[in-house]
Chain A
Amino acid sequence: MEYAIRTENLARTYGKTFKALDGVSLQIKKGEVVGYVGPNGAGKTTTIKILTGLIRPTSGHAYVNGLDVAAKPRDALRSIGALIEVPGVYDYLTPHEMLTYFGRVYGMRRDVIDRRIKETLELVRLPDWEHKKAGSFSTGMLRRLAIAKAILHKPDILILDEPVLGLDPKGIIEIRGLIRQFSSEGMTVFLSSHLLSEVAEVCDSVVFLDRGKVVSTDSVEGIGQRMDHRVVTVKFLRPLSGADVERVKSIGLVKNVDVKNGTARLHYDGKPESSVQILKLLVSLDLDVVSFASEGVGLEDYYVSVMSDEKGVN
């Protein structure tokens, strides 16, 4: 199978000892939207810089559509659109001038360039800014302009490195919407972020990276299943007395109880049938239940649990 992105034992060492990447192997199928998650300094940007030909690996190979990026950068980079970190823009140029240059770099015809500039600026909601100098743009607008540059030539593969970094909530929602749109158009998207919640919103699967090594790979669906619902939050009409708490604890399926005012968090084995049984028993104990809701493990908790596992799966 030909992968959109594939790396083989990718390693990059800075100085004599610091390993930014330590044998990373990735396989990303065409049309997939894959999140690349890890804490700051995990090696995400280093991987992306190797994939986009900005730096060379110390060892290993990076392939884009089967082409070795280090050996054939010109051909490999033709099918990639990339937004890396927070790129600078030529603030004395207008989006039209800047995008015209990049259109020519990709060998596009003049009429196609003009049409694509209009289309992409429309897509990133900057159509009225085509002939205004980029120096007057806000952070969000600059990021959207950089995305417009990345998709100008209709790449097969879009690589986004922390695309929502420094954006306000509105900007984050806009970028998320764009990624969903690119995905629906069949683009392969490789999205790096230090926020699992961010990639879980838009990705099919997630690769976890820590200290230069892949520590886990999972589908977003699989992550959801692993985040077992092991706690139910129960709201009662009145605050529970000490005796009421003891009665709740006496329910065999309940492992532990945290009580605060009229709310109790009941820890159990996470099975749906156990949840149903607990509710029935609470009602049978004449405790006035107002609400009963299962509580999932937070994405952050899941992230921490994955990152603390140092086994590595390369």
Chain B
Amino acid sequence: MATNAVSMRNSLSEAWLSLRFELLKHLKRRRLLILVALAVLLPLFPLISRPDTAVEFAGSSLNFISVLIVISAAMFAGDSVCGEFEKKTSLLLFPTPQNRSSIFAGKYLAALACTFLVVALWYIVLTLETGALYGWGEIPAEMWKSFMTAMLFSSAAVGVAFFVSSVLKRSISATILVFLVLMMIMPIAVMIMTLLESEPWFVVTYSSNLITTVLGTTSRLPMGPHGDIVQQFTPKLGTGIAVMATYAVACLAAGMAIAVRKED
């Protein structure tokens, strides 16, 4: 019992060390700086064509946040596992008195923390903008729900990136595949299923529409030669949360299982 407690304390301490080291690396590689700059600047774009209401303003801004979440997940977690093997830094990192699972847990948490920071900054800028433009009382009451949903989607996206990084050998392949999966393959699957009148409830990018729909805005697909609007499905809050949480947990668990067994 006491041995288990010591082992757990050691593992937590190692994961914390790994997390801090990863954050230092993200800072030094300027990735964090770039993503933070994007999180501050991108919410300013809706100012170009200012909508009539605060809800529409927030909705139009948050339409883009899932793109930034995917970029952030790919940048911070895309090379978290395969990068160590590809660049042979694993030969420095692993022959040390720490569990690999702790090292990778730290890496995952660092990627998650950076993505959360980016998302939080976006919402802070958006809230300030909305308050300044429409009045502080006009800030949508459901904004916090949207924020929590964005955090959950961040966990799922980072989980997917971590899993891909565990499976592939090259960082660049992992980063590109994360983009392809979350920004092309899944959205195309959603579109096809929508056209087939089948709700794509199990696709995580479909669930991410909750980020805007919880505000009371709609998620729409412009289709056809005249840009007709196809809008048949809106993700249900409970189902969407469950799907995103499942992706986050399943991808992390599978990625971790593969990562700790990975060899040169």
Residues of chain B lying within 8 A (CB to CB) of residue A73: 97, 99
Shortest 9 CB-CB distances between A and B: which pairs? A52-B95, A88-B88, A87-B91, A88-B87, A88-B89, A78-B97, A82-B95, A92-B28, A84-B91
Contacts of A82 in B (CB 8 A): 95
A105 to B16, CA, bound (A): 11
Residues 86-113 of chain B, each 1 if its beta carbon lies under 8 Å from chain A, else 0: 0111111011111100000000000000
Q: Are B98 and A84 in contact (CB under 8 A)?
A: no
| Contact call B17/A54, Cβ cutoff below 8 A | no
- In the assembled complex, B79 has its CB within 8 A of some CB on chain A: no
* Cβ of A303 under 8 Å from chain B: no
Q: Are B17 and A105 in contact, with the CB atoms below 8 A? A: yes
Whole-angstrom CA separation of A101 from B18 in the bound complex: 9
Known: A54-B264, A74-B10, A92-B28. A105 touches B96 (CB 8 A): yes
Tell yes or no: B25 within 8 A of A by CB.
yes
- A49, A73, A90: which has the most chain B beta carbons within 10 Å? A90
A257 beta carbon closer than 8 Å to chain B: no
B14 at the A interface (CB under 8 A) = yes
Binary CB contact string for chain A from 38 to 73 against chain B (1 if under 8 A, 0 otherwise): 000000000001001111000000000000000001
Q: Can you list 20 A-B pairs with a CB-CB distance of less than 8 A?
A: A52-B95, A53-B95, A54-B91, A73-B97, A73-B99, A74-B98, A75-B97, A88-B89, A89-B89, A90-B25, A90-B28, A93-B24, A93-B28, A97-B24, A97-B28, A101-B17, A101-B21, A105-B97, A146-B92, A149-B92
Q: Which residue of A lies closest to B94 (CB)?
A: A54
Partner of A77, one of B25, B91, B95: B95
Q: Out of A77, A85, A93, which one reaches B96, CB within 8 Å?
A: A77
| A88–B89 alpha-carbon span in the complex (Å) | 4
Asked if B29 is at the interface of the complex by the 8 Å CB criterion, the answer is yes
Given known A74-B98, A74-B99, contact A89–B92 (CB-CB < 8 A): yes
- A88-B88 Cα distance, complex, nearest whole Å: 5
Which partner residue on chain B sits nearest A85 by CB separation?
B91
Q: Is the CB of A92 within 8 A of B21?
A: no
Task: Check: A80 CB closer than 8 A to any chain B CB.
Answer: yes
Residue A106, interface by CB 8 Å: yes
A102 at the interface (CB under 8 A from B): yes
Q: Quick check: B95 and A84 within 8 Å, CB to CB?
A: yes
B263 lies within 8 A of chain A by Cβ:
yes
* A55 and B96 in contact, given A84-B91, A88-B88, A88-B91 (Cβ under 8 angstroms): no
Alpha-carbon gap, A59 to B94, bound state (A): 21
Quote the shortest CB–CB distance from B10 to chain A (angstroms): 7
Q: Which residues of chain A are near B21, meaning CB under 8 Å?
A: 101
B219 to nearest A CB, angstroms?
A: 39
Among B10, B29, B97, residue most surrounded by chain A Cβ atoms (within 10 Å): B97
Q: How far is the CB of A58 from chain B (nearest CB, A)?
A: 12
Would A53 and B94 be within 8 Å (CB), given that A92-B28, A101-B21 are in contact? yes
* Residues of chain A within 8 A of B89, CB atoms compared: 87-90
* Residues from chain B with Cβ under 8 Å of A97 in the complex: 24, 28
CB-defined contacts of B25 to chain A, threshold 8 Å: 90, 92-93
CB proximity to A under 8 Å, residues B204-255: none
Nearest CB in chain B: distance from A278 CB, A? 54
Quick check: B96 and A54 within 8 Å, CB to CB?
no
The verdict on A104 contacting chain B, using a C-beta distance below 8 Å, is: yes
Known contacts A78-B97, A84-B95; is A104 also within 8 Å of B17 by CB? yes
A87 touches B92 (CB 8 A): yes
> For A75, what are the chain B residues with a Cβ–Cβ distance below 8 Å?
97
A101 to B23: give the CA distance in the assembly, Å. Answer: 12
Q: Which residues of B contact A89 (CB under 8 A)?
A: 89, 92
Interface centre among A74, A106, A146 (most CB of B within 10 A): A74
Q: Does A86 contact B (CB under 8 A)?
A: yes
Task: Give the CA-CA distance A53 to B264 in the complex, in Å.
Answer: 12
Contact present for A106 and B96 (CB under 8 Å): yes
A84 and B96 alpha carbons, distance in the complex (Å)? 12
Answer whether A80 and B95 are a contact pair too, CB < 8 Å, given A88-B88, A105-B14.
Answer: yes
Would you list which residues of chain A between 3 and 28 have a CB under 8 Å from chain B?
Answer: none
Residues of chain A lying within 8 A (CB to CB) of residue B97: 73-75, 77-78, 105-106
Instruction: Encode contact with A along B3-14: 1 for CB under 8 Å, 0 otherwise.
Output: 000000010001
A88 / chain B contacts, CB cutoff of 8 Å: 87-89, 91-92
Name the B residues within 8 Å of A92 (CB-CB). Answer: 25, 28-29
A78–B98 alpha-carbon span in the complex (Å): 9
Within 8 A of B (CB), among A92-113: 92-93, 97, 101-102, 104-106
